[in-house]
Structure 1
Amino acid sequence: MSEKNREAKRTARERLAAERAKQKAAEKRRRALIVGAAVVCVLGLAAVIGVVAANAGKDDGTTGAVVAPSGATGQDALAVPVGRSDAKSTLVVWEDFRCPACRSFEGEYRDTIHELTDAGLLRAEYRLATIIDGRMGGSGSRKAANAAACAQDAGKFTAYHDVLYENQPEENDDDFGDNAKLLELAKKVDGLDTPAFRTCVEDGTHDAWVKKSAQAFLDSGHQGTPTVLLNGQNLAEVPSMTPAKLKQMVQENAKG
């Protein structure tokens, strides 16, 4: 075999190896994206179709005026803000206090979100959904959301929000449907267990607001909770998403 032919074959093998390596890397990125999306948004489209149907035809009996919690912002005042209003980045978090995937998200990302909001680099906007009530039955999603809104009135939203996730019952256990449980958990937050808070929880002061927020989620087209958007970008679509990557994205955006 001539040197020219050997060189041609070697070049062809190298090209083939390079193409295989490229395909392998692309497949690895694709798998990472799928895994990341599954972690961030564990309720798949098929499940959500059932959730939407369950909620759409369900009347939970909530009536009365829509009373937004103190400081709520956005269209119809449905967002509970945490952090400085002039932060360069905004993280919108759709959550359901009964949702196990939301608990997983909070467990992994909460410290990073707190760090960034405390540093003035990030503004978080929490929007509350009640899809587990619709799928599993019960009222725990709604009542926990109302209690969180009551905590916002008292300036204790973040601390109580974290306590709820740290003490989340099993998905099929409607423990949060008992106001006594929600009031008991309030004792874990300094200064929250007050007559005003207890009345707000027991009267369901923000129930109609929660219902409106839940409907906004159903109308949004999002495919499950948690749905997390950084400056409008769904983090479930970001390959290999991690708390460190979220921090990097926020810091880079702050630099302009």
Structure 2
Amino acid sequence: MSEKNREGKRTAREKLAVEREKQKSADKRRRALIVGGAVVAVLGLAAVIGVVAANAGKDDGSEASGPVVAPSGAQGKDSLAIPVGKDSAKSTLTVWEDFRCPACKSFETAYRPVIHELTNAGELKVEYHLVTLIDGNMRGTGSRNAANAAACAQDAGKFPAYHDVLFDNQPPEVDDAFADNAKLIELAGKVDGLDTPAFRTCVEKGTHNGWVAKSHQAFNKGGFSGTPTVLFDGENIYQDRTMTPAKLKQMVQEANKE
């Protein structure tokens, strides 16, 4: 075989080898793209599932389940408000709260003294609406069970004191301790005369669960952004960065002069 022919075959083999390497590289890139695409698809699906789950959680409790049994003395549309203070008070404060909500506890800690002062003096009436927002966001039933227990306390004429006890003993937001009815009954022992067989039965049976769910549904329909939502003359004063307990007191007193 001539040198020229050998050179030609060698060149052909080299070209073939180069082409094979190119093909291997192309196949490797294609496999990487396929695998990468599959990972992205899985992550995308997980994200979608996460969003759906989150949204499902936010709707938790918004649909009434079981009979809607309003607590004794509840007022307002569909009897969803628990009143504190005298009906003759000229000013009304509307409060939407969740017993698992840390911001609600902060509001209560700061404003409770002046609210008690004004309600006791007959200058202010407060309408409490109970919400289960944290149950939806963090999962669990503590918001609902605590709200039901508070409604049971309203039946016994002990709502204001038990309301305060629940916030004073609020667990960390991620701890669904209020889901335990035994804990709620234990806390009732801090309110004179509340821990009775009737109260225990009401808590354990979830007598007002349907009412709590309907209250949360009204919160969703109201278009409120979160808890607490505190309305005075239709204005959300909790969103007012200049608001203080002293300013609220002044607002109530000025409104009562009109």
Relative to the length of structure 1, the TM-score reads 0.77
Amino acid paired to 2:236: N
How many residue pairs were aligned?
208
The corresponding residue for 2:238 is 236
CA contact (8 A) 1:154 1:192 kept: yes
Answer yes or no: is 1:124 the counterpart of 2:126: yes
Match of 1:158 among 151, 160, 173: 160
The corresponding residue for 2:111 is 109
The corresponding residue for 2:37 is none
Map Cα deviations across residues 66-99 of structure 1 (whole Å, 9 max, x no partner).
Answer: 0000000000000000011121110000000000
User: What are structure 2's unaligned runs of at least 5 residues?
Assistant: 1-50
| SS, match of residue 216 in structure 1 | helix
Mapping for residues 180-199 of structure 1, pairs under 5 Å: 180-199=182-201
CA contact (8 A) 2:147 2:212 kept: yes
Give the 3 Å change call, closer, same or farther, for CA 222–52 of structure 1 in structure 2.
farther
| SS, match of residue 243 in structure 2 | coil
Match of 1:172 among 168, 171, 174: 174
Give the 3 Å change call, closer, same or farther, for CA 225–51 of structure 1 in structure 2.
farther
Match of 1:70 among 65, 69, 72: 72
Answer yes or no: is 1:99 the counterpart of 2:97: no
Give the 3 Å change call, closer, same or farther, for CA 60–250 of structure 1 in structure 2.
closer
Amino acid paired to 2:138: M
Amino acid paired to 2:139: G
Higher relative contact order (CA 8 A, sep 6+): 1
Distance in 2 (alpha carbons) for counterparts of 1:82 and 1:55:
31
Give the 3 Å change call, closer, same or farther, for CA 161–52 of structure 1 in structure 2.
farther
Distance in 1 (alpha carbons) for counterparts of 2:115 and 2:54:
29
Amino acid paired to 1:143: N
Deviation at 1:57, TM superposition (A): 4.9
The corresponding residue for 1:213 is 215
Distance in 2 (alpha carbons) for counterparts of 1:208 and 1:122:
29
Relative to the length of structure 2, the TM-score reads 0.77
CA contact (8 A) 1:50 1:135 kept: no
Distance in 1 (alpha carbons) for counterparts of 2:108 and 2:167:
7
Answer yes or no: is 1:253 the counterpart of 2:255: yes
The corresponding residue for 1:5 is none
Distance in 1 (alpha carbons) for counterparts of 2:105 and 2:194:
22
Aligned-residue RMSD, C-alpha: 2.0
CA contact (8 A) 1:52 1:218 kept: no
CA contact (8 A) 1:54 1:135 kept: no
| SS, match of residue 254 in structure 1 | helix
Map Cα deviations across residues 43-83 of structure 1 (whole Å, 9 max, x no partner).
Answer: xxxxxx99983346546997321000000000000000001
User: What are structure 1's unaligned runs of at least 5 residues?
Assistant: 1-48
Give the 3 Å change call, closer, same or farther, for CA 238–50 of structure 1 in structure 2.
farther
CA contact (8 A) 1:128 1:210 kept: yes
Distance in 2 (alpha carbons) for counterparts of 1:255 and 1:228:
22
Distance in 2 (alpha carbons) for counterparts of 1:240 and 1:62:
37
Identity value in percent: 66
Amino acid paired to 1:84: K
Instruction: Report the structure number with the largest CA radius of gyration.
Output: 2
| SS, match of residue 170 in structure 1 | coil
CA contact (8 A) 1:67 1:209 kept: yes
| SS, match of residue 194 in structure 2 | coil
Distance in 1 (alpha carbons) for counterparts of 2:111 and 2:52:
28
| SS, match of residue 91 in structure 1 | strand
Amino acid paired to 1:124: V
Give the 3 Å change call, closer, same or farther, for CA 106–56 of structure 1 in structure 2.
closer
